[in-house]
Structure 1
């Protein structure tokens, strides 16, 4: 009860790896759990997170960034179960897909009986950089309590032609402009990381990926 925990996970594996990640948490009264994940490497990614908001006033915040490419599989399943009164959760995913990548994101907010006053929000934004990707976004809100508020949304689209034209007119090549937009997604999450060494690891990885055309 009353605990405040922030967990940062950065995954920078090589392209031949299978990555399986599972996070579980139980929150007491007025406890807060903040989760930040950046998924960049590996060939296949299976990522699951389940949070039990047991205590009154407990809070869960998750922010996930991913960059799927070269036929990668990115499979994510996030579950927030609200039991306590006036519990809150916010789950956001922000990613980029290109080069035959396949991604599925499942986000479930479940308001259990007794979770009066609970609020849950989930949102995903996906930037599609090629026509051969497969994107599935599956938000789900379940409710067994009347006095609750649940919201979900998704924004999925390609790089805006006008923005691409503007960047190219400023001296960037089309590939440089695409790389810049993809990197911006991850940079936004990096700003939430308190450890500078970890931020530099992510930046060097991205620079290497883009320099090698990966």
Structure 2
């Protein structure tokens, strides 16, 4: 792909924005270098997907939003996501910046840092600099470079050594102004033997075309556990391109729970790098495509350490004329003895015009390993529909029950009841429209 990258801002304007935001010199230089890179790089190459035909240039411009004095100031579009959160740990980003941040006092007393990333670079610069853009390199492609140059708002979560957090920390990221840049960066660092659950929701409330260029970096220390849950429910007007990476040290655990419930074109890449011995990864992805959506989902596990298990499960439902490419990639490097990589990708199509493509890929450079994959693409089983209808169930209800049964093996394994119920509700909403 040789499409020329259109820069949404020039170096002088970017430098002015960084200076006016009070950012440290190292960050300004990082942004300018990434912008320079973006001009030389091409778009990412996605399997059977012409991302150059998508709306990937409409970044808009930086617009500051007024902070919320309280949660009652939040718009109706996110009110259901933040109810009963007055005492919890919560960050809200609206368009180009954070408008609400709160951390529970007991967590702050333990040394936990939970704030927007733009604040963190000023208050915890050395810590942020150690990890920012280390898992997702700006030189990977133009999308990554532009993200590194333009990111705004975002989340920074740091959990100190031996701190175990029982209650999930949450963030809501809202885009409701198509002219405002929406490029949040999520950075999670879990130190040795710590444990944390982080949940976020991406929401759009607008009618004009826009772009979300998002990145997530997670660093899991030795013996630490991070459960990362995310739900994307952006509207048909918003193109969503998201890259997620986790780097896991000895005996660390990363668990991904991803709900892809967007209505617009979507590309996401979720990858676990099992760097340390005994590190492990578990990824669960569910997706529902409707209308004329074009979807491309990739889940990856790269094994470097010895005795490293990974499991990836993706289930997608396509209706109307939606099309999806589902990729699962397990890469076992030389020396990663006793690694165990398993993956399953299944696509259910509800319409003759819907299309699904499941691509399981095993790349193995070591002999003493275990690996396996399963993949299937098909339509609703008409015999199952007929059987249910013979019991007095309508065709619509019969198909709905079959769909729920198809997604249940993933949804039922989600350990967070609130997230499980939310995903169930979003699935129902997409299927009845």
2:313 is aligned, of 88, 92, 95, to 92
Post-superposition shift, 1:154? 0.7
Q: Are positions 1:75 and 2:296 aligned together?
A: yes
Partner of 1:106: 327
1:209 aligns with 2:420: no
Structure 1 residue matching 2:351: 3-state secondary structure: coil
Match of 2:343 in 1: 122
What is the match of residue 23 of structure 1? 244
The answer for the alignment partner of 1:51 in structure 2 is 272
Instruction: Find the aligned partners of 1:206 and 1:91 in 2 and give their Cα distance.
Output: 20
Aligned-residue offset at 1:187: 4.6
Cα distance, 1:186 vs. partner? 4.1
Q: TM-score, normalization: structure 2?
A: 0.47
Alpha-carbon distance, 1:175 to partner: 1.8
1:176 equivalent to 2:397? Answer yes
Whichever structure has more strand as a proportion of its residues is 1
8 Å contact 1:93–1:123 — kept in the other structure? yes
Matches within 5 A, 1:138-149: 138-149=359-370
- Higher RCO by CA contacts (8 Å cutoff, separation 6 or greater): 1
Work out which of the two has the higher radius of gyration on C-alpha atoms and give 1 or 2.
2
Distance 1:38 1:203 in 2: 10
Which residue among 220, 225, 233 is the counterpart of 1:4? 225
Q: Secondary structure at the match of 2:401?
A: helix
- Shifted more, 6-15 versus 192-201: the winner is 192-201
**What 5-or-longer segments of structure 1 have no aligned partner?**
none
Tell me how large the CA RMSD over aligned residues is.
Answer: 1.8
Superposed CA offset, 1:4-34 (max 9, x none): 1111111222222212222111111111111
Q: Is the 8 A contact 1:109 1:120 kept in 2?
A: yes
Alpha-carbon distance in 1 for matches of 2:313, 2:421: 23
- Unmatched runs of 5 consecutive residues or more in structure 2: 1-221
Residue 156 (1) aligns with residue 377 (2): yes
Confirm or deny: 8 A CA contact 2:358 2:376 kept in the other structure.
Answer: no
- Supply the distance in 2 between the matched residues of 1:199 and 1:62 (Cα, whole angstroms): 15
CA drift at 1:183: 3.3
How far is 1:106 from its partner? 1.5
Deviation at 1:177, TM superposition (A): 1.6
Answering whether residue 235 of structure 2 is matched by residue 14 of structure 1, we say yes
Counterpart Cα distance in 2 of 1:118 and 1:106: 20
**2:234 alignment partner, SS class:** coil
Say which SS state the counterpart of residue 183 (structure 1) adopts: helix
The CA distance in 2 between the partners of 1:43 and 1:80, in whole Å, is 27
Aligned to 1:189: 410
1: CA distance, partners of 2:404 / 2:234: 18
Distance 1:9 1:88 in 2: 22
Aligned residue pairs, count? 212
What are the Cα deviations for residues 62-108 of structure 1, in whole angstroms up to 9, with x where unaligned?
Answer: 11111112111110122211111111111111121121111001211
Alignment partner, residue 21 of structure 2: none
Correspondence for 2:353: 132
The alignment's TM-score, normalised by the length of structure 1, stands at: 0.91
* 2:337 and 2:367 in contact (8 A); partners too: yes
Asked whether the 8 Å contact 1:65–1:185 carries over to 2, the reply is no
Question: When you count helix as a share of all residues, which structure comes out higher?
Answer: 2
